[in-house]
Amino acid sequence: MRHKKTSLNTPTTPQTLAAQIQKAVTLHQQGQLDQAQRAYRKILKRDKNQPDTHHFLGLLLRQRNKPDKAIHHLQQATRLQSDNALFWKSLADALFEANQPQAAHDVFQHC
């Protein structure tokens, strides 16, 4: 059975978006970081305003010891969903890992 590939112009329903995010998270949890990173980026290419996807990609980039890139995505997550304390904590952790303790302290005050 052949499956039709969806193009970037194909509308994404909340259900398909949720399924795509879940698939990416599952890959991430299984340690398939390259595949998970590609999946997160594909989601963000379709919709750059996905706070959960920015958060998960930020966590993955922290795992890969890329705190500066992680910080960018974690900042996007907090910008898009400023009431999510977990996003702020993740950002503070990444800032601390990037040797930015004052910025991390300032962000922890927000949590």
- What was the pLDDT predicted at 7? 42
Q: How many Å apart are CA 14 and CA 97, to the nearest integer?
A: 34
pLDDT at 82: 95
Q: Give me the pLDDT at residue 51, please.
A: 97
Q: Is 63 helix (H, G, I), strand (E, B) or coil?
A: helix
Q: What is the pLDDT of residue 13?
A: 80
CA distances, 81 to each of 5, 10, 33, 53, 75 (Å): 31, 26, 25, 12, 10
* Residue 2: predicted pLDDT: 37
**Positions of the chain with pLDDT lower than 70, given as ranges:** 1-12, 111
Q: Mark out the alpha helices in the chain (DSSP H runs).
A: 14-29, 33-46, 51-63, 67-80, 85-97, 101-110
State the number of CA atoms in the 13 A half-sphere of 29 facing the CB: 6
| 11 burial type by CB count under 10 A (0-12 exposed, 13-18 middle, 19+ buried) | exposed
Assessment of whether the complete model's pTM goes beyond 0.95:
no
Q: What is the pLDDT of residue 10?
A: 53
CA distances for 36 relative to 29, 33, 41, 59, angstroms? 9, 5, 9, 11
